[in-house]
Structure 1
Amino acid sequence: IVLFSHDLSMPLSQGDRVEARGVVGQFQGAVQLQEVEVHRVGRAPLPEPVPISARRAYGWSHMGQRVRVEGRSGGVSLNSFGTMQVTGDDGIELTLYFPESAVRDFDWEHYPRGTQVAATGVVSIYKRTWPYDGGF
């Protein structure tokens, strides 16, 4: 779930545990908590990412879990967030989404098309055919 607030300025680190309250909404199919209040309630170790194929990342079996996917880099798009197309060894193409903070500090020139890459993140599903403006 995405916590969305124009006013929230709490810096969070990986492993921070939070309690959040807000109004459930959606944007382009992504479930969001809007008008959110967030409180840090502690820290916890991050679970180890599960190595999976691109095909398995494109399904629901690992939804919301930390995974590691490997493949060859494709096209890159940079705007307020960044995307990179990655093709797994199984031929399945995924789009990796990067938050704005990662886009600002990332040297994309080190990852030309065809570079072998590995990405660790949390699985969310995006399909342009869903009945939103897309949909995660």
Structure 2
Amino acid sequence: MSLKTIADYHTSWPVQRVLAFFLKSGDLERHLGQMRRVYARKRALLVRELEGAQAVARVGGLEAGFHVHLELDECLDAAEVARRAGERGVRVRVLSAFYVSDPGPSGLLLGYGGLEPAQVVRGARVLAEVMNRLAAS
């Protein structure tokens, strides 16, 4: 209880009422089902577009959620891929930043939850192009 008080003293009465209605009406389950389908389509787009770089990168992670991890071939430097993709407007995170061990795995974290499908496609195409160019050099 003391942690709840520190983090958030209370949830307002109107918010509690709306949430209770959402739960009782079944709307929450319908919403969750719809969102699962939306995110599954985005993930499928991402995976499909990254097939162009499958010789140097492999998609991993759960088939649910808002992101995937991209395991890179040893010929690629994750930081360099992230830097070059960033120069083209595609932001990704290196996996090693999420690990205590040094060095962490060579890979990237790709978030797609907040993107529109066209942004997912563009980002994946840019990443595939960057990775293939770096692998060829």
Structure with the higher helix share, 1 or 2: 2
Which entry has the higher C-alpha Rg, 1 or 2?
A: 2
Structure whose residues are more often strand by fraction: 1
TMscore range, shorter length: under 0.3
Query: Given the two structures, how large is their TM-score scaled by the length of structure 2?
Result: 0.23
